[in-house]
Chain A
C-alpha cells in the first residue's frame, strides 16, 4: 500500500500506544518485517500519565486509562526517534495536542526531523476533555486539526487521521479530514468506557473487533478512494483478512501485542506481504 512517499509493505503496522518505544518489541523479534511502527501519542510537553491501575482486563478486552504518558516532543526527538530511524521499520509518529496551535507546532517539528516516515494525528483520545486534549470529535474540528498539521509539512510526508468509533458520523469525519489534507484514515480508536473505579478510559481488544470492522466498512462505502487503515481487536491473520475484505488497505495490531508481542510479525508473515 502506498501513501505519498511511504510504502506500507506488508500492510501490517503496530498500533499507537501498544508497542512501547519500539525497542522492547524489537528485542522480542516483533518489529522487523512490519509495514510501519506507530509511536504512542506524543504531546508538546512531557506527561506523567494517570495513576495506577491504568489497565484492567475485561472479557475479551481491556480498559486503559494510561493518560498519554510520554516524554514530550523534545525528549522523543532526542532519545527515541534516532533509534527508530536507524532501524528497518518506517516510523509513524502519533501526535495529540491541547489546541490547534499545539498540533500545528508538533507537525512543524516532525516535518523537519529526519527519520519521520509519517504522522498519525490522534483525533479520538477516549477521554479528551479529562486529559486536556483538543476535542476533535466533530468533523469540522477534526478537519481544522488536519489542516493545521498539514500546513508546514514537506509534500510527500503522509498524514494519517485517526478517527473515533462513532460509526454514525464516521463517513462525514473521513470526508472532512480527507478534504483538509489527510492521506488516509485510521479507524478506529479505543471505545470510550469506564474503569471499575469510575475513571474514564478506553476499551480495546477483541471485544471491539466487529465495531471497528463496521467503521472501516462505513468509510469504504462513503469514500471508495480514500485509503483506510483498520484497527480494533485484530488478533490473528483471519481477523486481518476480514478487515481487508471490508475495505481496509492495511491493518494495525494493538492490544493483541500485550498478550503476545509476536502477533504483528506472525500476521504479517501469514498475509505474505500481499495486501489482497
Chain B
C-alpha cells in the first residue's frame, strides 16, 4: 500500500507556460506531488492527449521549484527545453490543460549533516534541480557556490536567481556570449580549490558529470551527480534505463537510473561503460 513518502500518479493542470531564453517554464498544479518532493526528484509526464494516447514512452523533468500559491495549493515548476515531439507537445499546452504525471520520483540529492562547503554545477536546463538544493543547503549552514554552464546565453538558466541563493556564482558559456568562455571541465579544478569544496553536486550531460566526478575525486571531495539518461517509464517498471555502477559491495552491476538514481555518487558510476552506452 502507498504511504506518505510514495510517489503519486495524478492528472495535473497547467497554470502557466512562460518563455525564458530557449526554455519554457511550466507551473503545474499536481495535488500531493509538490508536498512530497525533495531537491533532485523528478516527475515523469505521460505525453500526448489523455486518451487515446499514441505516445507510450514518457518524459522526465526535474522538479525546479515548489511554491505555495494561496488559491491552488502547492504547485510544481519545471523547465522544459522543446526538442522532439514529446517536449513540443508539452510546451504547446495552454493554460488549464490537463496532463498526467507521476512524482516525485527517484533518489534525491543526499545532503550533508554538517555545514560544509558545496559547489553546485549545472549545465543548461539541467541546472533546474540545483536551485531548491541551494536553498536547503543554505538553511543547513552550508557555504554554497554555483557554476552555471551553457552553450550560449539563451541556454543559461537563471543566473540572476542563482546570485540570490549562492555566495558566489561563476558562469561559463561555450561561445563566450556571457561569463567566461569555455566548458565546465576548464574551470572546475580551479573553482573546487578556490571554494575548497567538500561536496560537488552536478546536473548535466554525461560528459560534464564525468568531468565533475573526476575533478571532485582529484580534489578529495564527494560528488553527487544527477543523470539524465532516457527513461521510457521513469517509475522503475520497464528496465529501460540501464546505469552501470559499482555497488556498495564493490560488485559491478546494472541498476535502473530512474529508481536507484537518477542522483548517485559520482565515484559509483562506471563512466567508461556509460559513455560507451553499455
Contact = CB atoms under 8 A, between A and B. Distances in A.
Given A56-B57, A57-B55, A17 B239 contact: yes
A55 interface: yes
A257 B44 CA distance: 13
A258 B58 contact: yes
A26 interface: yes
B242 A24 contact: no
A256 B55 CA distance: 10
Chain A interface extent, by class: 35 or more
Nearest to A66: B239
A69 B254 contact: yes
Interface in B192-245: 229-230, 232-233, 235-242
Interface residues of B, number: 36
B160 interface: no
Interface stretch (B5-13, B87-95, B164-172): B5-13
Contacts, number: 122
Contacts of A69: 239, 242, 254
A206 B235 contact: no
B58 A259 contact: yes
A25 B242 contact: no
Interface stretch (B46-54, B114-122, B133-141, B173-181): B46-54
A24 B259 contact: yes
Contact of A259 (B6, B57, B254, B278): B57
Interface in A20-65: 20-21, 24-30, 32, 40, 48-49, 51-57, 59-62, 64
Interface of B: 1-3, 6-9, 46-47, 51-58, 100, 102, 229-230, 232-233, 235-242, 253-254, 259, 277-278
Top 6 nearest A-B pairs (CB, nearest first) are A24-B236, A55-B240, A57-B57, A258-B233, A55-B232, A27-B6
